[in-house]
Chains A and B, each alone.
Chain A
Amino acid sequence: MSGVLRRLSAQTLDVKVRYAAIILLLLIYLFPIYWILTMAFKLPKDTFAYPPVFVFQPTLENFAVAFGKSNFLRLTLNSTIAALGNTFVSIAIGSLAAWGISRHRIGGSGLLLGVLSVRMIPAMSIVIPLFLLFVQFRLVDSFLTLPLAYLAMNLPFVIWTMKAFIDDIPYEIEESAIIDGCSTVGLLRKIVLPLALPGLVATSIFCFIFAWNELILATVLTRLTARTAVVGLTTFISQESEINWGALSAAALLVMTPPLALAVLLRNYLLRGLTAGALK
């Protein structure tokens, strides 16, 4: 297969030319990320310089402002709690359901299509009733708020993706364990969990990134105590009359680092997770 592909592509474009084109394109493509990275380390005089400066005296002042005056460390901590908390609960509850659906066909295809439809409900459509519900149960702006609310988005995702991963695990191992008299709980803990681990990691990455980046529910359901970093960035823009672009870029850099770091560190899982949900 690869031999033919190589021959076919060799007809149209030499591999070296292709490499060069891709790398050039990539440099242009990732330039905006590099640009916000430099902004975070620029002094005010360099931030607003025109023509823009590419060589400058780096400073950490922006991070000091973001952490100090704007309390960004607290917001980042809140984001971490919300994202980790939700990922843990979504994965636990969602994979359990995925196993039941995959191995015992609970609910049949109707349940699976139902889960898929629920996944497509826009957050903006349910945020109003969800807000009223959370007010009623006095759950607005606590550390339970977002881990709970994000279940609405992440649970269908976990069920759908983990079912695909579990379907791919051969059933024979579980079968022999059942014949040996293993209980369902023991089966899940000792056999399914280790086998499904790569899938669990891939799915967790996406749950975490989604929860970390989410804006609508976080804006409406949190106030001061549990406000997340992403919400902090938007208030930065609307409230300050004179925007401190350096500090804002430093804060933005902090917000985009965890998803990008996860992607680079766990890149093998990433590609699997990205395609698993969409095309299957």
Chain B
Amino acid sequence: MAVQSFLRAGPRRARVLSGFWRKPYWTVAPALACLLVLSIYPVFHLVWLSLHNVRILPGVPPEFIGLKQYGWIFNDPDFWNSFRVTVQFVVAVSLIELALGLLLALLLNFDAPWVGVLRMLFLLPTLVAPVVVGLTWILLLNGEFGLINYLLGLLGIRKQAWLARPDLAFAGLVAADVWQWTPFMMLLILAALRSLPVEPFEAAATDGASAWQSFWYLTLPMIRPVMAVALLLRALDATKVFGLVLVLTGGGPAVATNVLGLYIFRKAFERSQMEYAAGVAVILLLVTLAVASVYTALLLRSQGRARS
């Protein structure tokens, strides 16, 4: 599992042999060529676009405008609204999913026939397209004939217009995402629980520690690194949310759930403000890479500590 040794990788003898053999560089060439054209070049083009004013008229060269685009973006309340909504969404879903995922993992952490199948069944929502998850939750949250209003009605709570009120629409969005991704959190935490050493627990049991004590003082500290990694991984993914929001709320009511992904998409492809959208996309990329570098650093550090 150690990431550092994983990165260094490969059996030691492979290196000795490859001293005789020339390294087969051709094996990585096609993959690198594809990634250069389809991932790396687009990133540079994106940054270039955000710094230029591209004229639609033929024969007129694009004009370099420096950071002006970013000035406009940072003065746009709609951008800040989308930024705030995205941050709120990411924080809400990753924390709720972590807490529920931990509970679910503890519940599923035992050995008995069929437990493997039960674990797998929990994972099914994770594999459904976010668009389909959105559709399913529209049906559940519908104010007229939705099942959730019906169930609330049985408890004596009156019908709510879930997708028409800003706070409720946001809550619905969070609920749908939590439904889809909590099992993924469970899977990562469960993997950590299953690989815990036995000795400390045996010693604690001998010393008469209660189940709660051994959870709080042994289990939790030992799985904390994995929980941190899982949290960041989910945060990273939640930053990219698009399909679910597009279908479930369409960014509305008004702009209450207009996450950055949706904001960029509409600016670029519905309002034809490509350069402006490119600027916002650069900001999204920077935010993602910031979270990603914390993730990678944590992953390397925790694995390094586990190794030593």
Contacts and interface: CB of A to CB of B under 8 A. Distances in A.
A263 B123 CA distance: 9
Nearest to A18: B110
Given A50-B150, A116-B296, A270-B120, A151 B34 contact: yes
Nearest to A170: B11
Contacts of A22: 107-108, 118
Interface residues of A, number: 109
B278 A128 contact: yes
Interface in B232-273: 233, 236, 239-240, 242-243, 246-247, 250, 260-261, 264-265, 268-269
A123 B288 CA distance: 11
B224 interface: no
B281 A124 contact: yes
Interface stretch (A25-33, A55-63, A66-74, A193-201): A25-33
A141 B225 CA distance: 44
A130 to B, nearest CB: 5
| B: interface residue count bin | 35 or more
A259 to B, nearest CB: 4
Interface in A123-174: 123-130, 132-133, 148-149, 151-152, 155-156, 159, 163-164, 167, 171
Nearest to A238: B250
Contact of B112 (A19, A105, A133, A175): A19
B127 A209 contact: yes
A64 interface: no
Closest 6 CB pairs of A and B: A100-B27, A213-B129, A97-B31, A129-B45, A129-B42, A109-B7
B139 A97 contact: no
Contacts of A32: 125, 136-137, 140, 179
Nearest to B120: A267
Interface of B: 1, 3, 6-11, 13-15, 17-18, 21, 23-25, 27-28, 30-32, 34-35, 37-43, 45-46, 49, 107-112, 116-125, 127-132, 135-137, 139-140, 144-145, 147, 150, 153, 179, 184, 187-188, 191, 198, 201-202, 205, 211, 214, 226, 229-230, 233, 236, 239-240, 242-243, 246-247, 250, 260-261, 264-265, 268-269, 274, 277-278, 281-282, 284-285, 288-289, 292, 296
A275 B236 contact: no
A71 to B, nearest CB: 18
5 contacts: A35-B140, A109-B9, A122-B240, A129-B43, A263-B124
B139 A36 contact: yes
A220 interface: yes
Nearest to A209: B127
A33 B1 contact: no
A247 B3 CA distance: 48
A48 B265 CA distance: 33
Contact of A252 (B10, B136, B147, B205): B136
A245 B42 contact: no
Contacts of B25: 100, 106
